[in-house]
Amino acid sequence: MPNVYDFDKTIVYPDSGAAFFQFCLRRHPGLLRYLPLSIAALLRFVVKHRRSAPFKAEYYRYLRGLPDLHGEVRLFWQTKADELLKPWYLKQMRPDDIIVSCSAEFFLRPLCEQLGVRLVATHVDTETGRLEGFSCYGAEKARRLQEDFGDVEIDEFYSDSLTDAPLAAMAKRAYLVKGDERKPWPGK
């Protein structure tokens, strides 16, 4: 039985998408032109409680300004993985692990291949920034995990967010992660 992990703030310290955007801004200052659009989209999302798909499409608009997106993603993980990945995860990582994340698949795939683990994530059109299907969030994570891996039995599940309760319910054991601390999932 595999262990299943959320990604951002669970097995890496920051929101990795924001860290990647900052990385790209430093390397390509021209991306600053997309910053007002991203901030405006974030404010609309927070104030109006919009669904995440339109927000993500507006946020990912900056991808159009990168000359080699996939090269930037590879470089990001080559230079940042050691500082972003939590040591406790690296110590217990197994080849049958599955990462299930709301983050973009194009962004996490190179790291997962490097680590030798499997991935379920949000599909994003890298040309337009639009989501292909639903954001891999909440109950959608559980649905997508079953779609990709069938009736998988989860040994242990780790997440920093209670919105991942559907995956926690599928696991024999589940843990809520805060920083490097892992506590049993509330009510599990």
pLDDT for the residue 61:
85
pLDDT tens profile 100-110: 999 999 999 99
Residue-range domains of the chain with CATH: 4-184 (3.40.50.1000)
**How is residue 8 annotated by DSSP?**
B
pLDDT tens profile 110-129: 999 999 999 999 999 998 88
In 12-68, where does DSSP find H-type helix? 16-27, 35-48, 52-59
pLDDT for the residue 85:
98
Secondary structure of residue 51 in the 3-state scheme: coil
Exposed (0-12), middle (13-18) or buried (19+): which is 126, by Cβ within 10 Å?
A: middle
Low-confidence stretches of the chain (pLDDT beneath 50)? 50
Q: How far apart are CA 89 and CA 182, in angstroms?
A: 11
- Among residues 69, 71, 50, which one has the least CA distance to residue 125? 69
Residue 69: both structure tokens together? 């997106």
Q: How far apart are the first and last CA of the chain?
A: 18
